[in-house]
């Protein structure tokens, strides 16, 4: 068994351990996002020192550049990026549908419709690269093979992530395709990994879609559980549900997903979101927020058990000689770098400013997960 649920706390938090080919991970955990094989501005050794147990990379981006063939030739993604701990890759499905809505770099100024850039069939999805407009075709089997060639620890199958504005009929079609592709993915994955010893076999998740519709979420979950995946991911909620309507669905997922399998809430979220989601039974998280916000000067500070976001580009911090958070033990705060100095660096477009803010935010997220596992968030 790859996932072991050690205990379930009174507040709903599940404390466990997940075994992968590149090591064991304590749950719940947060995955820094390294889309193209690099967490922006941070080296692998720095990530390890911050306490990262696993990072997330993206199948779509690595497939387009530099290509999974080159990465495999050079020893796999772990060796390529010099990261010795586990790696999870998402399927690239979301990027196919979202990035393809933008013009490729070489297209004319007139925008094109999504129908001209993405063609979904029962067999898979045809799309144009956002880099150069070249045509590509993803099948469920091809997406699994790309991830196997990358040599990662946790794989995601090709799925359809509908817009938050999609009708129920459109969401139902997406769910049906997701289930059909999940069956093909599981079959292909099982065949390709059948001769691997258990300790070297990567893990494959099923992705539950269904928007905010309870009946579709239940239907998708039931069909995927029948396929007996190694774990289950909850997709489609961090896309554009800004009204926070997703919590009813997250609660449902915590109630109906198998207790003995890890649950991954994809793309979520703020520190307060993660605290709430762990209490609803979620185990795995990823989000671009800590690094993206840092690049725009925004950093998290902790007040008691709540998190506040401040922007160091605000004028009031130009003469602030204090560190970002006096109670923080990240390299930035422990190094004595002041808010005023980081604000100056950011205003001057100095890379060090982005790095110092990024290190701080990542530390806040990773320390949060330690505190959750220690049961320090009991309200």
Catalytic residues: 90, 286
- Classify each residue of 222-241 as buried b or exposed e, where b means 16 or more C-beta atoms within 10 Å of its C-beta: ebbbebebbbbbbbbbbbee
C-alpha 297: how far from chain center: 22
Segments of the chain assigned E as strands: 3-8, 14-20, 23-27, 29-31, 55-58, 87-90, 118-120, 125-128, 135-138, 154-155, 203-208, 231-234, 262-265, 284-286, 298-303, 306-311
Taking CA atoms, 231 is separated from 64, 274, 338, in Å, by 27, 19, 43
In angstroms, the CA 12 to CA 276 distance is: 10
Residues with Cβ within 8 Å of 308's Cβ and at least 6 positions away in sequence, in order, are 300, 301, 302
In angstroms, the CA 81 to CA 151 distance is: 12
* Other residues' Cβ atoms within 10 Å of the Cβ of residue 313: 15
Residues with Cβ within 8 Å of 75's Cβ and at least 6 positions away in sequence, in order, are none
In angstroms, the CA 60 to CA 143 distance is: 9
Quote the Cα angle for 295-48-189, to 5°: 95
């Amino acid at each position: 068994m790859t996932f072991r649920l050690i205990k379930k706390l009174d507040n709903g938090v599940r404390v466990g351990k997940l075994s992968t080919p590149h090591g064991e991970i304590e749950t719940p955990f947060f995955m820094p996002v390294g889309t193209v094989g690099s967490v922006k501005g941070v080296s692998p050794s720095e990530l390890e020192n911050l306490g990262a147990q696993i990072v997330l990379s993206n199948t779509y981006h690595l497939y387009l550049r530099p290509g999974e063939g080159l990465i495999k030739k050079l020893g796999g993604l772990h060796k390529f990026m010099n990261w010795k701990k586990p790696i999870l890759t998402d399927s690239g499905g979301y990027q196919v549908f979202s990035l393809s809505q933008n013009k490729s770099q070489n297209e004319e100024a007139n925008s094109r419709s999504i129908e001209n850039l993405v063609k979904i069939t029962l067999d898979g999805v045809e799309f144009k690269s956002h880099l150069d407009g070249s045509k590509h075709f993803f099948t469920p089997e091809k997406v699994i093979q790309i991830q196997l060639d990358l040599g990662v620890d946790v794989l995601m199958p090709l799925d359809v992530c509908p817009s938050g504005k999609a009708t129920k009929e459109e969401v139902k079609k997406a769910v049906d395709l997701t289930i059909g592709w999940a069956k093909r993915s599981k079959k292909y994955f099982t065949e390709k990994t059948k001769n691997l010893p258990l300790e070297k076999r990567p893990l494959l998740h099923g992705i539950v879609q269904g928007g905010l519709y309870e009946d579709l979420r239940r239907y998708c979950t039931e069909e995927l559980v029948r396929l007996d995946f190694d774990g289950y991911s909850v997709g489609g909620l961090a896309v554009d549900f800004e009204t926070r309507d997703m919590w009813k669905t997250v609660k449902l997922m915590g109630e109906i997903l198998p207790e003995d399998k890890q649950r991954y809430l994809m793309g979520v979220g703020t520190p307060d979101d993660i605290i709430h989601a762990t209490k609803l039974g979620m185990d795995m998280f990823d989000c671009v927020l800590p690094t993206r916000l840092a690049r725009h000067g925004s950093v998290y500070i902790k007040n008691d058990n709540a998190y506040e976001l401040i922007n160091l580009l605000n004028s009031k911090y130009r003469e602030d000689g204090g560190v970002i958070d006096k109670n923080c033990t990240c390299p930035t705060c422990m190094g004595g770098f002041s808010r005023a100095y980081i604000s100056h660096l950011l205003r001057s477009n100095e890379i060090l400013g982005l790095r110092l803010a990024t290190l701080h935010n990542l530390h806040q997220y990773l320390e949060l997960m330690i505190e959750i596992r220690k049961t320090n968030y009991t309200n």
